[in-house]
Structure 1
Amino acid sequence: MNAFVDHVSLARTAGDLPAADELDRALRNASPTEVIATALQAVGREHLALVSSFGTESAALLKVMADVDPAIPVVFLDTGWLFEETLAYRDTLIAALGLRDVRSIKPLEETLNREDPERELWFSDPDACCRIRKVEPLARALKPFSAWINGRKRFQGGLRAQIPVVEQDGARLKFNPFANVSREQIDAIYARADLPPHPLLKSGYLSVGCMPCTSRTSPDEDVRAGRWRGRAKTECGIHTVKTS
């Protein structure tokens, strides 16, 4: 890994981003800590962001990041439809982990007034609702950055089952440091660091997004079964639309 990190350092000095496929090969079996440290080395803190929903598994990734560098910018999409418990959990984790640069990004009010004046788009066209409340705000928030980190895992299934550790996302690098981790490893991070759980977890919300499109999940269901229940939709769009 050291020789590869040296190569990454040289690429950064030259002003070039390392190739995503090269990074993926080098980090295929790396720990989440090593992935985040390499991302930081590759682009520098001012060009790297971690995107977090502050959901039911988010504290594990945020803890690993904070151990590497708690000043890495964290982007949080405040859609206007989030549970109050999620907003409170964000504040709890900021304090508990010593996160120094959490940026809460909201959709533009003019866009909401134009495209969702009755605030019912989540029901009639959930893809459009996600676009104006999550996809577009994230694209705006990521403009200053050359790379971003997210918390998707292969064990979540669906479109996530085959994700690489590093991928090209439009003009940016996208790091998936938890791609290889198991649920048991995430539980171990929570236990080892005594991380607080999301307040809604005890009520049966195993995966938490926006209020209208999140429901409780029974123990025999997939973790994300409560997201957009009854619809073919499984992703909000921030991981299926390339950032520019």
Structure 2
Amino acid sequence: MTVLINNLVADTPEHEYARKLSAKYEGWNAESILRDVIEHEFAGTIAMTSSFGADAAALLHLVAKIDRTTPVIFLDTDRHFFQTLQYRDELVEQLGLTNLVNLRPALEDVRALDPKNTLFQSDPDACCNFRKTRPLAAVTKDYAAWISGRKRHQASTRANLSVVEYDGRGFKINPLANWTAQDVTDYIRANGLPEHPLVEQGYPSIGCFTCTKPVEAGQDARSGRWAGQDKTECGIHLSVYEDGEGI
């Protein structure tokens, strides 16, 4: 239950446990973190999300080494580059992943909220909400924890990212939090993994084709996402305290 004190969210035992786990894992390598959360801390109650974007192959490969049956949730927004969908299928086959979960927005939401497929222009937050946040929330409630590929280097908004968070719904594991862009590149090359075909075209972060542009040299990796807008996140990484749900 959410507890408010002077309009602020009070700490819960879950928040404290997340901090303890985060401190424990801070000096561990990514594979060790993943092995501990998949096989011990959250055994049988953990999933991962993947955009099958520019950095996705590294985390997917690490998870596949530990347990190929780990649920891998992909948000099929019906707005992905066709290269992303091809890349998804290629990686799933190459890594032997056996539990891919493709989530799509509810048809009734599409008809009611975005019948002309133009909502991304007038209200991108609302577009992300029904295409990504709602479908994911409906599934992740069935898990105690989920694995995310977010990294501190990606944007100023992620600079203080913890290895483990509690977002009011469940625990979120960020095993690559301290990886750099070069770390990802080196891992992909060292393990003979395919690169997303849009990376060489200047896309270091890849979302929906309607809201993603190439990035100029020296910019944040995510600066091509919702370029020219104040928006920096799709919403799936906001806590219930930030988006108002449950308060």
Task: Tell me the TM-score normalised to structure 1 length.
Answer: 0.89
Residue of structure 1 aligned with 2:172, choices 164, 171, 174 = 174
Native 8 Å contact 1:20 1:168 kept in 2: yes
Residue 132 of structure 2 is aligned to residue 131 of structure 1:
no
Native 8 Å contact 2:155 2:222 kept in 1: no
Equivalence for 1:9: none
Equivalent residue runs for 1:91-240 within 5 Å = 91-240=89-238
Residue 28 of structure 2 is aligned to residue 49 of structure 1:
no
Aligned letter for 2:160?
Answer: Q
Identity, in percent, stands at: 40
Q: How far apart are 1:17 and its partner, in Å?
A: 11
Give structure 1 stretches of 5+ with no counterpart: 1-15
Aligned letter for 1:168?
Answer: Y
Secondary structure of the residue aligned to 1:228 is coil
Q: Distance in 1 between matches of 2:79 and 2:212?
A: 10
Equivalent residue runs for 1:5-20 within 5 Å = 19-20=17-18
Task: State the Cα RMSD in Å.
Answer: 1.7
Aligned residues: 228
Q: Distance in 1 between matches of 2:219 and 2:162?
A: 25
Task: Tell me the TM-score normalised to structure 2 length.
Answer: 0.88
Secondary structure of the residue aligned to 2:47 is strand
Secondary structure of the residue aligned to 1:224 is coil
Deviations 1:21-77 (A, max 9, x none): 1111111111111111121111213x1100000000010111111111111110000
Equivalence for 2:19: 21
Q: Comparing both structures, which one devotes a greater share of its residues to helix?
A: 1
Native 8 Å contact 2:141 2:169 kept in 1: no
Give structure 2 stretches of 5+ with no counterpart: 1-13
Aligned letter for 1:229?
Answer: A
